Amino acid sequence: MAKEKKVTILVPNYKTPEITKICLRLLRKFTDFSQVEVVVIDNNSQDASLAYLRGLSWIKLIERQPAPDDTVPLSHSRALDLALAEVKTPFVLSIHTDTFVKRSDWLDVLLKPFDEQPALAGVGSWKLESKTALQRWGIQFEQCWKKALHQCFGYRGYNPNRLDQSKYYLRSHCAMYRTDVIRALNTSFSDGDQTAGKVMHEKMVAAGYQMLFLDSLQLGEYVDHLNHATLIFNPQLGTSDKNMREGTKRINAKLRGIDGEAILADSCLDQ
């Protein structure tokens, strides 16, 4: 008898051929497929990434057509919802095509807290980035300085919400949820037309469920996130020249760190 699947992994895709290939090949390499199903939702890419996805037998591919009122955030969250409607496993996990798994026990890190905390509805992170304690202290110092400038001189560069953890929600680059809670609350990733998962997170908290934010350094040992790769590789979506230059440099450095060229050359991982 086939083992019942436990997690459905949702991966929206838009025009990132090489990044998508690396993401899925790492999933294939480091994931126990007796536990998971993978659903990739293509957002009308019409490029090499779609051709690649159509050739993979171990994923379920949904080809989404754009809606007239789509924005970049809405097309992403609506793609997740299109697949979410078909999820039958106890857990559902959203990731991005620039989310790279790094170890064979990565899924256990996200599932284990649910066994330990019955009231838990979601596990993930706010931002998945590797910052040292000194860097994090520097960000806090910068915000305090900007706050002082704002209070004294009306400085507009101060964002009071940046360090306010009450505003945090599980981000869709790596967020695991209990499917039954999503159904019971009649919510979804595009609920409220906000950023993917924001209103869903708020509804879970309001209903008395717990949401667990894993420390970036801890989760980063198992999963990496390039951050904004789709925007960097698709400037027509709206990003500055400066962000493109800095983002391309950062992404290329991370790809060298995981030997991205070797992964792209290993077509065996597509089987």
Structural domains in the chain, sorted by start: 7-126+169-270 (3.90.550.10), 131-167 (no CATH)
| pLDDT tens-place values along the chain, 271 residues long | 457 899 999 999 998 889 999 999 999 999 999 999 999 999 999 999 999 999 999 999 999 999 999 998 999 999 999 999 999 999 999 999 999 999 999 999 999 999 999 999 999 999 875 544 444 455 455 556 566 666 676 666 656 655 445 679 999 999 999 999 999 999 999 999 889 999 999 999 999 999 999 998 889 999 998 865 555 555 455 566 656 666 666 677 777 778 888 988 999 999 8
| Token pair 């798994």: residue | 101
**229 exposure class (CB count in 10 Å sphere: 0-12, 13-18, 19+):** buried
- Segments of 56-191 assigned E as strands: 60-63, 91-95, 99-101, 120-124, 174-178
* Tokens, residue 182: 């999503």
- Give the predicted TM-score (pTM) of the model: 0.84
